[in-house]
Structure 1
């Protein structure tokens, strides 16, 4: 009983994990106001390499050709976004929603895409060399012309019967 009360007190005093998002570089804590200002610049056409774009909403936006290399774009919403030729090299895009996104020629080299949702996304010519794909959902995604995929990394992701893959590759069912 005393342990439960102690645990409840400690839990109540612990700040929420999402209350303080670290910067992309591991530097000082970035305030919500700073993240909002950065997100607004991105929505207005800016590139943002090495930025903290945690949980940014870019649904339905065109970010084609922009550079987000090394950025923290974790838990973001890029559903139905157009990101043709965008550069996400080394970016942390884990748990990001790419539902129906057009990612023609996008560069995801060495990006963290773990747990991301690519349902119905088009990745023709996208570069995925070294990208972490663990738990990513590629159901209905077009990957036939994607570059740099390996069977080992595809084995950590999932898809369905409508997922198109490069010749000879397979993906586990979700």
Structure 2
């Protein structure tokens, strides 16, 4: 192939947008399948019940988990940046090692959830019930925010949003 044709082909390939999500994986997860390591970017799981599933290591960035019930679900090491989880129920779920940067957990029920090693930078926990969550440190919470209604484990506090 001529050098100019090669350059044109390379430029055309570089200009093609990368797939932002995997529609098949999203549909499977929405139907109730576990999907560890899946690409669920911007998936809509609002008002969905998915108890005891595994999304460990999955990419859920900008997903909508609002008003969902995902008790005992693993989000360990998952990318949950900028998710919307308003009013969700995540009793006993694992967020260990997950990236929750910019996530909104306003009014969310997080009793028994595991946050060991999770990144909480800019996460909003206003009104969240997490007084029985485990693995939370003051250092993590200092990088997040909440309000007077946020319930935390004894001895921990969160800056106001």
Please say whether Structure 1 and Structure 2 have the same fold, judged by a TM-score greater than 0.5. yes
Give the corresponding residue for 2:98: 111
Mapped to 2, the partners of 1:15 and 1:90 lie a distance apart of 31
Alignment deviations for residues 63-114 of structure 1 (CA, whole Å, 9 cap, x no partner): 1100000000000000000010000110000100110000000000000001
Provide the secondary structure at the position in 1 that maps to 2:60.
coil
Matched, 1:96 2:94: no
Give the corresponding residue for 2:68: 81
Backbone CA RMSD of aligned residues? 1.5
Q: TM-score, normalised by structure 1?
A: 0.82
Give the corresponding residue for 1:161: 148
Mapped to 1, the partners of 2:62 and 2:15 lie a distance apart of 20
Alignment deviations for residues 100-150 of structure 1 (CA, whole Å, 9 cap, x no partner): 000000000000001000000000000000000000000000010000000
Residue of 5, 17, 20 corresponding to 2:18: 20
Unpaired runs of 5+ residues, structure 1, are 1-13, 23-31
Aligned residues: 148
Give the CA deviation at 1:15: 5.5
Unpaired runs of 5+ residues, structure 2, are 1-13
Mapped to 1, the partners of 2:101 and 2:19 lie a distance apart of 19
Provide the secondary structure at the position in 1 that maps to 2:25.
helix
Matched, 1:138 2:131: no
Give the 3 Å change call, closer, same or farther, for CA 41–153 of structure 1 in structure 2: same
